[in-house]
Amino acid sequence: MNHKKWLTLGIATLSLMGLTACSNQAKVGKHVHFSETYNASKPATKAGNDSTLHVAEINDAPFAGMTLPTLQNNQEDADVYSPGGEGALFNQNKNHKIINNGLGSLKLNKKKNTALVTLRKNAKWSNGQKVTAKDIEFPYEILANPKSKSQLYSPDMSDIKGMNAYHNGKAKTISGITFPDGQKGNKALFHFNQITPAIEYASNDFMWNGVEPYEHLKGIPISKLPSSPQVRKHPVFIGPYKLKKQIDGESTDWVPDKYYYGKKPHIKNIDIQVVSSSNTVAALKSKKYDFTFGNSASDYAHIKPLKDYSEVGRPNFSIANFGFMVGKGNKSGHSTMTHSKMGNVNLRKAMLYALNLNLVAKKFGNGLSYRANSLVPPAFNKYHSSYNSTPGVPYNMAKAKKLLKDAGYTKKHGSKYVTKPNGKKLVIHYGAMQGNDITKATDDYFMQQWHKLGLDVKYANGKPMEMNSFYSTLQKPVQHVMDVYIASSTLGTQPNEAEPTQADMYAPDDPGNSSHLNTKENTKLYKEMNDKKSFNLKHRIKIFHKWQKYMNKIAVYAPEFYGIDWTAVNHRVTGFDYKAGNNDFWGNLGLNSTHLK
């Protein structure tokens, strides 16, 4: 039976089973557990390391080509430019706590509410320019300047003194970041209104875990940075590799950076290419790539039997979630909840209860995805609320229909779909992204279930949207294309987020709050996550659990699936390590053969 036929039958099966598969819906689904490391049985060789490491970025659209981490708004750009180090400032231990052996070190003074960042003195950019204190501060100028249109500014950064004034255009500099030995020195002192528990961890929302090359970019208006040649054509990096060449949207090619402050990387050339999701399995079968980024669960069953590859994985810090449009943003980005089409909580919950996510995961997930119960993924272990205490919104079509009826959504005589409580026609537009056959089948199943519930739901723009178009639409302060959507997100503003503070996604002033949620209780809870009481870990965990229950109650955002970040690694690769404490992923890789095995 070919793959497409299996998909067609799968959807038909979902349709039939959805009426009866109601038992144990609230429990966690079974899923695969991987090793987080792979090391070839034979050590790396000089000949192998002198060859090229081939990496595939699995995506059905070209990557956008944004080299500055402060302006990236998708994982694909972060992936294809990651050999350059992602501008990372701090190293972390296995528990994601900052350790002082990276590009920079951190010293907190809780009494004075200050954080001192000190650069190592031998640090240089890939063009040979010294990394300076100004490079520590410059990311904040980019992030907090509305003209940059960065999606990564976090409201939590307003705890830095002077940040609000700069962000609102009332000051040209950020007064709370000073330079004890001058802008060209190696120290930057941050003055906070308060020191929070999150600051002790890598990639938190209060401090940016990175530097940007001020000397390379000075003189360019911040509004012009995204399109400037210094960013698009001649970028500089701080990691073990520098960019040798790139084909826009298609590939990046890397060689060792002779100015890198750390140990010299083993491999002499890295080539990263975009590969469509439909070609992933064939590409690995023909041994074109050593490993991949962005694997889908649907490929696992076809990749697992490949004898020259081993699977490596870890719980994903990102989460796929539903979002319901309940408001709009103003020119400054502040969200206000309005009397929108999706403003009724019963309508939102009914749409969620109508979906049998356990069954979808079982049918299509291959053990690599499972129904999510809260907006904090299990990768955050102790912060994640258990399925027993927080079951989420498990499948229950009868309950879904009752919620609609109780809220006044009823069918008129002879009509196929319900109307609004005021009797007017209700049409809901679902925003979905283009993907592989499994993605399309899942979206079609959602539509089928909503129609069965009695809702007239149509695809936004008539069909699933191209990724870049989807996000550009979703990020507008006001848009009328989507009423409900599914998007993947990572907690925190930065790649490989390791600290689960929620303000970057759900605060009223944050660009990531695409549904425009704004309630007093949500604001109260996410602020309590990082007040002084939350230096007590037990108290902090309690607040996180309380917040997860609240978010499930209001259902403006709702979790879809948790996933596993996984890849298949060719058996010529050495030193592949996904663990949190590995701060030199690319530099530690090696090859024991000139050709893939």
> Of residues 331 and 157, which shows the higher confidence score?
157
pLDDT at 5 over 50: no
**354 band by pLDDT with thresholds 50, 70 and 90:** very high
pLDDT at 10 over 60: no
pLDDT at 30 over 80: no
Residue for token pair 């970028």:
235
Contact 300, 280 (CB under 8 A): no
Mean pLDDT lowest for which of 21-35, 77-91, 180-194, 501-515? Answer: 21-35
In this prediction, residue 3 carries a pLDDT of 28
In this prediction, residue 75 carries a pLDDT of 87
256-283 core/surface letters (b: 16 or more CB in 10 A; e: else): bbebbbbeebbbbbbbbbbbebeebbeb
Task: Find all residues with CB under 8 Å of 536, minimum gap 6, and list them.
Answer: none
pLDDT at 204 over 80: yes
pLDDT at 584 over 50: yes
- The secondary structure element, H or E, covering residue 590 is strand 590-591
Q: How far apart are CA 439 and CA 463, in angstroms?
A: 13
For 366, phi and psi rounded to 5 degrees? 55, 30
Beta bridge partners of 310: 569
Tokens encoding 8: 């067609």
pLDDT at 24 over 60: no
In this prediction, residue 379 carries a pLDDT of 85
In order of their start, the domains of the chain are 3-31+316-564 (3.10.105.10), 37-65+234-313+566-591 (3.40.190.10), 91-224 (3.90.76.10)
Beta bridge partners of 561: 320, 371
Its pTM stands at 0.76
* Beta strands 457-459; 428-431: pairing state: parallel
Q: At what angle do helices 520-528 and 537-554 cross, to 10 degrees?
A: 160
Q: For residues 430-455, give the mean pLDDT.
A: 93
In this prediction, residue 94 carries a pLDDT of 84
Tokens encoding 155: 């409201």
In this prediction, residue 4 carries a pLDDT of 27
